Amino acid sequence: MPVHIALLRAVNVGGTGKLTMSDLKALCEKAGFSDVKTYIQSGNVLFRSDLTAADAAKVLDKALAEIMGKAPGVMVRNRSQLEKIAKNNPFPDAKPNYLMVNFLPEKAPADALDNLVAPDGEEVHVAGHEIYVHYPNGSGRSKLKLPALKPATSRNLNTVRKLAELAAAMEDG
């Protein structure tokens, strides 16, 4: 059974709402997913399911909406996609914790970089369903404005690599 990695948007970071990882695990199991594992308190969950990534995202988003009052947004990727995202990092000299991968529910629009405001030297690269942003001074203080990031959920490169590693362990174990 395939391993999926779900990345929840706006969970436990002051957005849609608070959700403990134990509650997330239980919710995923109730939704029919198996071998469920969570990683850090920012809405990362790995599980097995025969559903497609898109269908798994819909099931999880709907289940979350029932307990949170609205769907937060769920992006689902697999191990090889995360490995490719990490490998194709367009900013190889950036510190991994200063490089955010923004996961989008759909392919980034052609005009994704229109209206970009990067006052602190931020660098941005669009790659399909992801937008990489290098924050040379850290993302917490950044004044970056990029409307294309609104539907995205972000993970730093360290987290992307760790999630790929955890998925590999599940697949190989």
Predicted local confidence at residue 13, as pLDDT:
46
Q: Please, where are the H alpha helices in 48-156?
A: 53-68, 79-87
Instruction: Tell me the whole-structure pTM to 2 decimals.
Output: 0.93
The rounded distance, in Å, linking the Cα atoms of 7 and 42 is: 8
Predicted local confidence at residue 39, as pLDDT:
94
The rounded distance, in Å, linking the Cα atoms of 102 and 59 is: 22
Q: pLDDT tens digits, residue range 42-96?
A: 889 999 999 999 999 999 999 999 988 888 899 999 999 999 999 999 999 999 9
Q: Is the pLDDT of residue 17 over 60?
A: no
Predicted local confidence at residue 67, as pLDDT:
87
Q: Is the pLDDT of residue 171 over 80?
A: yes
